[in-house]
Amino acid sequence: MRIGIMTSGGDCPGLNAVIRGAVLNGIKSYGHEFVGFRDGWRGVKEADFFELQRSAVRGISKQGGTILGTSRTNAFEGEDGGAENIAAMLAKNNIDALIAIGGEGTLAGAQRLCEAGLPIVGVPKTIDNDLDATDYTFGFDTANQIAVEAIDRLRTTGDSHHRCMVAEVMGRHVGWIALHAGMASGAHAILIPEVSTSMDQICQWVNEAHERGRAPLVVVAEGFVPEGMEEAFSVRGLDTFGRARLGGIGEMLAPLLEERTGIETRATVLGHIQRGGVPTAFDRVLATRLGMASVDSVSEGAWGTMVALHGTKVNRIPLRAALNNLKRVPLERYNEASILFG
Ligand code: F6P
């Protein structure tokens, strides 16, 4: 078979390990050939691809980003979009199947194309870890590691100046990075989109830490909304799906905390640093296994499915299972962490 691979949506450490796992398993186990589409659905719609030989994936599992490039292009928009055009493009270029590596938006596009009869399998990807159908997504562990290293640094400067430090991490709809990075770095308050928390409560945690002589540390997910207040949006406007870009909650909280507690406060937005650089060993292994399994799915014609991690096993599940629910932080996980606040 001749198989196309594409990476779409926000990039994520581990994408290259998926590509390598897929290509090596495909060549060694099945004798498949591969092409790589550039920049997600844009490359698919425009037939912008190159031959992915074994040499192209040599040593790439430790590299951040994606050798294929990515974009937030919609598969159904534009004159060249939609199932008919993409099916014709695949047929014209003798491409028998497509492996779509992406988050919720990408997998939703893949699912619609599969319903129209296209031969596609999915690989879930997001640093946010918000896909319900898989226990962990690759990229999440790396994002946490980066966030913890950065927050550890914020602590030493916070300690020196006796300041309250606010670290804003990614997490549009869910607070997994905030929860894990906050717990690992010993935060005095963790604020996540799933749990509406009042300014009074946040100030109480900050004051308690300060009274013990600590420099208070608040870790907040970008999608957090303080009780009774408006969501903070970035000045960068809307993304290509028309969703407001988040970011800014840290800068919004810092002056409020300073005003109410009298403790000098600084905010740092970790932003895209969390998505850059080399993946952790955990993410490399997970991504490699998912890439290898996606080629098994293609070889068995399991169109409309994606690979997912359940416990330590990589399973095959319907794509639509990934799209039904966001994996939110359960309240008991937040309550468990909150015992450590203040
Ligand atoms: O979905 C992953 C994510 O990193 C979110 O946490 C964040 O809101 C968004 O992508 C940022 O997207 P962009 O790269 O388009 O700024």
CATH code, domain with 148? 3.40.50.460
| Full domain range(s) for residue 21 | 2-138+279-322
Asked, for residue 208, whether it belongs to a domain, the answer is yes
Residue 72 is assigned to a ligand binding site: yes
Among 172, 231, 233, 239, name the best residue to mutate to test ligand 1's pocket (greatest count of ligand atoms within 8 A of Cβ).
Answer: 172
Find out whether the beta carbon of 247 lies less than 6 Å from any atom of ligand 1. Answer: no
Asked, for residue 340, whether it belongs to a domain, the answer is no
Same domain for 130 and 147? no
pLDDT at 42: 97
Find out whether the beta carbon of 126 lies less than 6 Å from any atom of ligand 1. Answer: yes
Same domain for 283 and 134? yes
Same domain for 270 and 286? no
Same domain for 105 and 152? no
C-alpha of residue 316 to centroid of ligand 1, in Å: 26
pLDDT at 233: 60
Residues 6+ apart with CB under 8 A from 285: none
Closest to 35 in 3D by CA, of 13, 15, 57, 17: 57
β-bridge partners, 318: 305
Residues 6+ apart with CB under 8 A from 336: none
C-alpha of residue 12 to centroid of ligand 1, in Å: 10
Asked, for residue 154, whether it belongs to a domain, the answer is yes
Asked, for residue 201, whether it belongs to a domain, the answer is yes
CATH code for the domain in which residue 109 is found: 3.40.50.450
Same domain for 222 and 307? no
User: Which residues are tagged catalytic?
Assistant: 128
Same domain for 166 and 191? yes
C-alpha of residue 211 to centroid of ligand 1, in Å: 36
Among 128, 129, 130, name the best residue to mutate to test ligand 1's pocket (greatest count of ligand atoms within 8 A of Cβ).
Answer: 128
Asked, for residue 327, whether it belongs to a domain, the answer is no
Same domain for 237 and 261? yes
Closest to 195 in 3D by CA, of 295, 333, 44: 333
Asked, for residue 328, whether it belongs to a domain, the answer is no
Residue 106 is assigned to a ligand binding site: yes
Residue 171 is assigned to a ligand binding site: yes
- Ranges of the chain with pLDDT below 70: 232-247
Find out whether the beta carbon of 104 lies less than 6 Å from any atom of ligand 1. Answer: no
Find out whether the beta carbon of 127 lies less than 6 Å from any atom of ligand 1. Answer: yes
Find out whether the beta carbon of 12 lies less than 6 Å from any atom of ligand 1. Answer: no
pLDDT at 244: 63
pTM: 0.94
> Whose structure tokens read 């109480």?
204
Find out whether the beta carbon of 101 lies less than 6 Å from any atom of ligand 1. Answer: no
Tell me how many degrees the CA angle 305-309-315 measures, rounded to the nearest 5. 45
Asked, for residue 100, whether it belongs to a domain, the answer is yes
C-alpha of residue 63 to centroid of ligand 1, in Å: 20
- 82, amino acid identity: G
Same domain for 318 and 223? no
Same domain for 133 and 146? no
